[in-house]
Amino acid sequence: QVQLVESGGGLVQAGGSLRLSCAASGRTVNSYAMGWFRQAPGKEREFVAALSRNGGSTDYADSVKGRFTISRDNAKNTVYLQMNSLKPEDTAVYYCAAARRLSTVVVVTTTTQYDYWGQGTQVTVSS
């Protein structure tokens, strides 16, 4: 079983950048397909970005393509979400998640397919 802890959230002006971190313990992050999701007040949790077990495949929500990048540092057992050109509509609690998968190349984009979740980190983008 893996434990996930997010950090790096905060308040930033529109157009700014933040890098979220998801530190894993208990198991190595390359044992899982990894993903980032977000949930704004009054809205359902939505997919943001995903990374395959081998790190070779990624997927992004249309709303963040070209602005966000998911990556992984195996030595630090940490997954990152680099967020650039932030917009007020990016304001949400951001969650890191891990999915058990035998395949090393698939990405997982739906909440129901993830097995482990972090506690979330708040990102607020002011206009």
Which segments within the chain are labelled E, that is strand?
A: 3-7, 10-13, 18-25, 32-39, 46-51, 58-60, 68-73, 78-83, 92-100, 116-117, 121-126
Q: 53-99: per-residue pLDDT in tens?
A: 999 999 999 999 999 999 999 999 999 999 999 999 999 999 999 99
Q: Which residues pair with 7 in a beta bridge?
A: 21
Distance (Å) of CA 42 to CA 76, 80, 112, 120, 125: 34, 26, 19, 16, 17
Q: 14-32: per-residue pLDDT in tens?
A: 999 999 999 999 999 999 9
User: In 10 A of CB 114, how many CB atoms?
Assistant: 22
